[in-house]
């Protein structure tokens, strides 16, 4: 059988067909090819913290990120590293109940068992699964816009266990403005803390940054409307090392 020519580019020739910056000749304002992509076909990524046992630091893991270090923030879908701080605009808040299997009983990176809107639904699912070591964890879900290196992307921050205190403080700061939650931007950073076993881990920290411009406000309002209509799905690819297990 004759070998097809020109269908598979070699790694070396690939560098001749791509550039890191968008060329001037590319048309703007068109999204051809995405006509059939709906909200059911997309997920909103999450911002996570890299801990000592995070797969992002394990070179043998498929989730490894080159340059990843403890305390760094990253996007769990694009795998982009944000460093130790990034600017976020809070758009929408809700609470869910996530089911996790204890790491010591076989949980770890495969310990996530589902997210539910009520504790009753989560407990019913635990009963249905019939596994040992399952726990329904209160989890605050903060939908945000991320401003990084001049780019604006959508993401969600999941906060449970010791991160809940950060969530409550953030909610208090937002309510005190007496404005739309997305009227102000905040600096999201990482801080090192110590658990009851005197082991260190990284937690989120939030600090007010300033008011957003009209463009960011309009973008946030658009996302808010989409979320309210149920048109957003959250990535369930959780990093177990950042799911609160290292805090106890």
Claim: this prediction has a pTM higher than 0.85: no
pLDDT of residue 137: 84
Domain ranges (residues) in the chain? 41-94+141-247
Contact 142, 232 (CB under 8 A): no
Statement: residue 73 has pLDDT above 80: yes
Percent of the chain's residues with pLDDT above 70: 79
Residue 145 in 3-state DSSP? strand
Distance of CA 205 to the CA centre of its chain: 15
User: Distances from the Cα of 181 to the Cαs of 54, 55, 64, 143, in angstroms?
Assistant: 31, 33, 34, 11
Task: Please count the helices (runs of H) and the strands (runs of E) in the chain.
Answer: 4, 9
Q: Give residue-wise pLDDT tens across range 92-124.
A: 998 888 888 877 766 665 677 888 888 898 899
Does 62 or 9 have the greater pLDDT score?
A: 62
* Six token digits for residue 244: 């609160």
Statement: residue 205 has pLDDT above 90: yes
């Amino acid at each position: 059988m004759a070998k097809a020519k020109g269908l598979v580019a070699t790694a070396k020739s690939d560098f001749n067909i791509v550039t890191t910056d968008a060329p001037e000749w590319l048309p703007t304002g068109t999204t051809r090819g995405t006509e059939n992509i709906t909200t059911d076909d997309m997920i909103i990524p999450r911002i996570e913290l890299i801990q000592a046992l995070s797969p992002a630091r394990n070179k043998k893991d498929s989730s490894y990120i080159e340059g990843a270090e403890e305390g760094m923030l990253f996007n769990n879908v694009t795998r982009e590293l944000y460093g130790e701080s990034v600017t976020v605009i809070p758009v929408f808040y809700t609470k869910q109940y996530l089911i996790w299997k204890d790491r010591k009983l076989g949980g770890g990176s495969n310990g996530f068992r589902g997210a539910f809107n009520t504790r009753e639904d989560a407990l019913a699912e635990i009963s249905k699964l019939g596994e040992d070591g399952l726990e329904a964890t209160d989890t605050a879900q903060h939908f945000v816009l991320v401003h990084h290196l001049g780019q604006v992307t959508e993401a969600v921050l999941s906060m449970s266990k010791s991160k809940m205190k950060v969530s409550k403080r953030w909610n208090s700061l937002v309510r005190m403005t007496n404005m739309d939650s997305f009227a102000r931007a905040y600096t999201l950073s990482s801080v090192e803390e110590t658990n009851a076993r005197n082991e260190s881990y990284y937690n989120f920290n939030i600090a007010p940054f300033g008011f957003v411009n009209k463009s960011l406000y309009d973008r946030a309002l658009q996302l808010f409307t989409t979320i309210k209509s149920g048109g957003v799905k959250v990535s369930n690819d959780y990093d177990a090392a950042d799911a609160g297990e290292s805090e106890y």
